[in-house]
Amino acid sequence: MVDTELNRGLEGIAVAETRLSYIDGEAGTLIIGGFPVSELAANATFEESVFLLLNDRLPTADELVAFRTSLASSRELTDETRSGLKRAAAEGVDPMDALRMGVAAANLGAETATAQQAVERTIAVFPTVVAAYWRYRQGDDPVAPRDDLRHAANYLYMLTGTEPSDAATAGLETYLNTVIDHGLNASTFTARVVVSTESDVVSAATAAVGSLKGPLHGGAPGPVLEMLMEVHESGDAEGYVRRKLAAGERLMGFGHRVYRVRDPRAAVLSAAAERFYEAGGDADFFETVSAFEATAVELLAAHKPDRRLDTNVEYYTAALLFGVGIPRDLFTTTFAVARVGGWMAHCLEQAADNRIIRPRSRYVGATDRTWTPIDDR
């Protein structure tokens, strides 16, 4: 048998070169498209971030107008797609399952003759699918997308039928920019694997959605919000943390597979949440969020002095998305609305210098069996 070195989860294995994002987990650094995440998230529109990842540069004013127009013109769903989402809502399927089904059907009747058109259509249609499904699930009809609204504002508008406030739009846009790409995570790797077989970007997107659905990847902000609500109602942050630690349970929103310090995205989203709540949100709730972070970090450091368990991206994701009006059940699908921009950029990058992704496994099964006829078994 050929001896194959085993790296579970491909940890520490580099399988691609990328210009899209860079992570230094020890230093707490995240670079997206050449910019520190704090600079990109605070200044860019989501359309600018997507253009940057797709083209390796920021757009000119005219290019940005053209790109926004192109995305906006690709948002609408066909009647057949809406019908499938309506049935999914009636059956109460998971929002991520509805997103997967809707995206798979989204190129029905769509003009996607080129790879660029398919990429733009896929990015544009994600929020429309999520919002249409959610409206059906609430017993309402979908709200048609508006061409005059930017990506983030249009998403909020389609969810509620009301044009969002500037503060809500700014908060959501910062979130979308912050999580648009993050190295070769599970869903991004999934997308690249699919495209490496010379499959299409819609197949890559639906496969990536399936990967993101898993609670180890995209499902943490919901439980974080539940935790914050419980602490806000009880007013006993220290007691909550001590009970969790005594029970040996994980404290959601703290610690990260990659970062050994505070997640740089947490800093960006903390500032965005503070701006939002100062502009008219529930200031008492945000005070709880901030105070709980300090309490939890202190107690975790005392409980596990040999391990850094700082705040991760999910902690302030929960506070910010809740504040701007995203339903808790749509936290992971909203993550997908952002991350699809990164997925599509990775798909184009993979296709431009492709080699099929084909790792090996270490065989540990039997090798000396002989066949036994069925009558003798």
Separation in Å, CA 147 to CA 76, 116, 161: 10, 20, 14
CB proximity list for 364: less than 8 A, separation 6 or greater:
none
- Cα–Cα separations (whole angstroms), residue 19 to 32, 166, 273: 8, 32, 29
Tell me the CA distances in angstroms from 123 to 212, 216, 273, one per residue in order: 16, 24, 25
End-to-end CA gap in the chain: 29
In whole angstroms, give the CA distance from residue 247 to residue 241: 10
Nearest Cα to 75, choosing from 169, 167, 171, 148? 148
Query: Active-site residue numbers?
Result: 256, 314
Tell me whether residue 63 is exposed, middle or buried, using C-beta atoms within 10 angstroms of its C-beta: 0 to 12, 13 to 18, 19 or more. middle
Under 8 Å between Cβ of 122 and 202: yes
Contacts of 334 (CB under 8 A, 6+ apart): 130, 155, 175, 321, 326
CA distance 254 to 303: 13
Distances, alpha carbon 76 to alpha carbons 66, 73, 125, 291, in Å: 18, 7, 7, 43
SS3 of 149, please? coil
d(CA 288, CA 237): 8
Cα distance between residue 81 and residue 76, in whole Å: 10
Do 100 and 125 form a contact (C-beta atoms < 8 A)?
A: no
Cα torsion angle, 252, 133, 115, 68, sign = negative
